[in-house]
Amino acid sequence: MTKFFNSVVTTLLISTTAIFAQVENPIEKPNANPPVSMETMVGSRGVMFQSLVNKKFQSIPKLGFFSVTNATAAWEKEMTPDIMIQAHLTYRLFKGLDITSGMQYTPLYGFRPVAGLIYSYATPEILIILNPKVDLADDLATESLALIEYKPKINDKLNFYSRLQAMHGFVPESGTHNRSYIMLRAGLGYKEFAFGAASNFDWYGPIKHNENNFGVFVSALLF
């Protein structure tokens, strides 16, 4: 419980620092916020949904919000409910690197305070997000998320779309695995939409129980 309150205090300190920084630099230009990414996959295991938010507050440009939500509704009943929700306040240290503090929810562990770093790099063709974080509960755990998109132009209307997304989590004290996945996407992009083939590989718990999903996906960017 003490660690939980420490994480809350840390979040408040980050927010307060960001507000005072904005007061000291009132002429800083507003951010060009990246869009919200939403994706649905239909496959052999079931229907999977993911949303990704990485936004900055226009009036406090160093302060932002980062969230990743994953959920799978399986065609058949499974031993492990598959939903993960992350929500973090972020504070920019310098371009491309933020510190984070917030919470994470899974059915197995419930709500837990977390802190970490986010590195992001974006061009019209490439997107990279790296997010190592640590669980601040008594049974401390760590997770690392990596997302890489490559979307070169084919012609004036279409682009090739590909994505590799992976996450690995474990308990450092015991070395026990708790959750990991690999997501692969390949298809076409048209304006703010993308569609194509999809594969998900998921592992759960210390025994690394495996569930795979093969199908198709459709994604959209909300500006």
> d(Cα 154, Cα 136) in Å, to the nearest integer?
45
* Residue 81 confidence (pLDDT): 73
Mean pLDDT of the chain: 85
Is the pLDDT at 31 greater than 80? The verdict is no
> d(Cα 169, Cα 70) in Å, to the nearest integer?
15
> What is the pTM (predicted TM-score) of this model?
0.81
> d(Cα 116, Cα 142) in Å, to the nearest integer?
9
Place of tokens 């999977």: 48
Q: Coil, helix or strand for 93?
A: strand
> d(Cα 70, Cα 67) in Å, to the nearest integer?
10
The sign one gets for the Cα dihedral 41, 96, 170, 87 is negative
DSSP 95: T
Assess contact for 120 and 131: CB atoms under 8 A: no
For the stretch 89-109, pLDDT in tens is 999 999 999 999 999 998 877
Side chain identity, residue 27:
I
* Residue 32 confidence (pLDDT): 66
- Output the CA–CA distances (angstroms, integers) from residue 195 to 120, 181, 186, 191, in the order listed: 23, 21, 8, 11
